[in-house]
């Protein structure tokens, strides 16, 4: 039950931050994809299944904001969530520098998968937003690493 509440809180938080970022500036959501950060954290903390389910839900919520084909972000985030959970169980990535590099790699892989799916479905060039999309994996990894630090401190403080 606790995992469901944490996942619901993460999804609600991502939704609120996404809405706030979009109101501040529409291109802000191109730089920071909060749904990716939440899925990275869910995969790390909960494993493959939690990461995949959170990826599917966050991806469908993200797709509902887009004007493209419904499901592209869902598929990319589901895949990223699953593999984040899978790899984090096989390799110790919990130290901050390793965690950041791991998150950059996973967010970059998600961006590549999303780009390939978008190119296959729509054809033509991708919406790179003047290159802003290319910094997204690093910014998402920073956000996810910071969220993990906050989660760890809160868990230690409250005896979880």
Average pLDDT, the chain: 88
Question: 88-133 pLDDT, tens per residue?
Answer: 999 999 888 999 999 999 999 999 998 888 888 877 666 666 777 8
User: Residue 29 sits in a domain of what CATH number?
Assistant: 1.10.1760.20
The answer to whether 34 and 143 have CB atoms below 8 angstroms apart is yes
The answer to whether 44 and 148 have CB atoms below 8 angstroms apart is yes
Helices marked H in 34-95: 34-46, 48-65, 72-90
The answer to whether 113 and 6 have CB atoms below 8 angstroms apart is no
Task: Tell me which of 79 and 132 has the higher pLDDT.
Answer: 79
Lowest mean pLDDT among 66-70, 91-95, 103-107, 134-138: 66-70
Give the residue numbers spanning the domain of 122: 2-157
The answer to whether 88 and 102 have CB atoms below 8 angstroms apart is yes
The span from the CA of 106 to the CA of 59, in Å, is 15
Domains contained in the chain, number: 1
**Helix (H), strand (E) at residue 14:** helix 2-24
The answer to whether 33 and 83 have CB atoms below 8 angstroms apart is no
Handedness of CA 56, 60, 62, 63 (dihedral sign): positive
Over 80: is that where the pLDDT of 69 sits?
Answer: no
């Amino acid at each position: 039950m606790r995992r469901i509440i944490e996942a619901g809180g993460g999804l609600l938080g991502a939704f609120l931050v996404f809405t706030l970022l979009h109101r501040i500036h529409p291109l802000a959501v191109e730089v920071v994809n909060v749904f990716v950060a939440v899925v990275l954290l869910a995969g790390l903390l909960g494993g493959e299944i939690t990461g995949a389910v959170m990826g599917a839900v966050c991806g469908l919520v993200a797709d509902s904001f887009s004007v493209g084909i419904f499901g592209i972000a869902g598929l990319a985030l589901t895949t990223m969530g699953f593999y984040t959970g899978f790899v984090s169980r096989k390799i110790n990535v919990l130290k901050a520098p390793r965690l950041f590099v791991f998150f950059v790699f996973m967010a970059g892989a998600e961006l590549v998968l999303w780009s390939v799916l978008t190119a296959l479905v729509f054809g033509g060039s991708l919406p790179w937003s003047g290159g802003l999309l290319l910094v997204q994996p690093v910014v998402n990894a920073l956000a996810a690493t910071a969220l993990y630090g906050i989660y760890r401190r809160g868990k230690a403080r409250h005896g979880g």
